Amino acid sequence: MHMQIVVGLKRLGHDVYYFETTSSWPYDPVRQCRVSDSDYALPYLAHIAKSFGVEDSWAYRRSYSDKEWFGISQCNAEEMLTHADMVLNISGATRFAEEGLKVGRLIYFGTDPGYHEIMYANGDEDIVTLINEHDIVVTYGENIGTKESGLPALPNFRATTRQPVLLDLWQDGTPINDRFTTVGNWKQIGKDIDYRGDTYYWSKHYEILKIIELPAHIDQKIELAMGLNQLSTEDRLLLESHGWELKDAHSFTTDPWPYRHYIQTSQGEFTVAKDQNVRLRSGWFSERSACYLAAGRPVITQDTGIKTILPTGVGLFAYSSMDEIIEAFEAISRDYTKHSQAALEISEEYFKAERVLANLLDELGF
């Protein structure tokens, strides 16, 4: 996600740099835990930047410990932050004021609407402090600020946008396997939120449980890729006994290119969305699903209000019931070529990085 933003802006002719400055302890997927060193994170970032052709345009700050800079020097990095035309704080991951980093125009770039919006509305001190640090707010929740969504807009809300996709990186002919796939987590705890008397859930397993019987109703294999070591024996038996195929996501999600290959070789994507986006109709759409579309793979996804934003019914389907899921699979099965072509056309019109980012910059007055 991050590199497609960086490269997309570079293709528009801008000087763009990727900084990793979050205060969080880095996650090491080899040790499968947060760690107090950068032994994995630093060489990984250097490798990823090089693979996207931006090997001279990154910096890593060990904010969680000694504050040392790598990649771009500390002097140059801090100068860039201070005088940049804009600094996109992706998902609000970095607390610049807390870290003593001076920033020019700071933009909260919301990629996962719901949690921050509601926590701010509820007056959560930590989230209020985070959001108020920003000069401008943009979000992937395209219905926020309209009558379509029940989510409150954050202060300084200026624009909505969507996932920019580098289309040429995804198109790779016809799929080579026989299944619809998706990548995600089963259970995630700690981010359920109460708002106006209701509880809204973060974990996607609630949504899968609502359609647990789906494989018995369709003639199509569905594979869920997730961290199988985090799946209880009981949950694994539940999914497999209902016909869901499981794959260990850890084997291919530690690098963008095996992840891309997994999407390209799939027939399409079937997925669910967070309850927070479904019931509050945020209009959020998955970055991963946008990449499936760019690969020419049809997508069947839970409706978060996207029918007011994106064309659905051919190539892309937004469902609210089991019957709508079954109908979508049947339609794709009748004419896969048509739906594959439609997926490509949707990605070109709605997710092409150069178009998405140019529109955002124009809306923000850059």
**Closest to 240 measured CA to CA, from 219, 212, 264, 220:** 212
Q: SS3 of 245, please?
A: strand
Structural domains of the chain ordered from first start: 2-165+352-363 (no CATH), 167-350 (3.40.50.2000)
Rounded CA gap, 332 and 170, in Å? Answer: 20
Structure confidence at residue 173 (pLDDT): 82
* Tens of pLDDT, residues 118-146: 999 999 999 999 999 999 999 999 999 99
From start to end of the chain, where are the E strands? Answer: 18-20, 27-28, 33-34, 58-61, 69-71, 87-90, 106-110, 136-139, 157-160, 179-183, 193-195, 198-200, 221-226, 245-248, 268-270, 299-302, 316-319
* Tens of pLDDT, residues 148-181: 999 999 999 999 999 999 999 999 888 889 999 9
Q: SS3 of 276, please?
A: helix
Q: Do residues 94 and 168 lie in contact, with contact meaning Cβ atoms separated by under 8 Å? A: no
Rounded CA gap, 314 and 336, in Å? Answer: 10
Q: Do residues 117 and 140 lie in contact, with contact meaning Cβ atoms separated by under 8 Å? A: no
How many residues are present in the chain?
366
Residue 209 pLDDT > 90: yes
* Tens of pLDDT, residues 11-47: 999 999 999 998 889 999 889 899 999 999 999 999 9
Q: Do residues 22 and 91 lie in contact, with contact meaning Cβ atoms separated by under 8 Å? A: no
Average pLDDT of the chain, as a whole number: 96
Q: Do residues 115 and 280 lie in contact, with contact meaning Cβ atoms separated by under 8 Å? A: no
Rounded CA gap, 354 and 166, in Å? Answer: 8
Residue linked to tokens 């990085």: 353
Backbone angles phi, psi at 245, to 5 degrees: -90, 140
Amino acid at 267: Q
Residue linked to tokens 């926590």: 119
Structure confidence at residue 233 (pLDDT): 96
Rounded CA gap, 319 and 115, in Å? Answer: 23
Amino acid at 222: I
Q: SS3 of 47, please?
A: helix
Burial class of residue 6 in the structure, from the number of CB atoms within 10 Å of its CB (0-12 exposed, 13-18 middle, 19+ buried): buried
* Tens of pLDDT, residues 44-70: 999 999 999 999 999 999 999 999 999
Which residues are CB-neighbours of 288 under 8 A, at least 6 positions away?
182, 183, 263, 269, 271
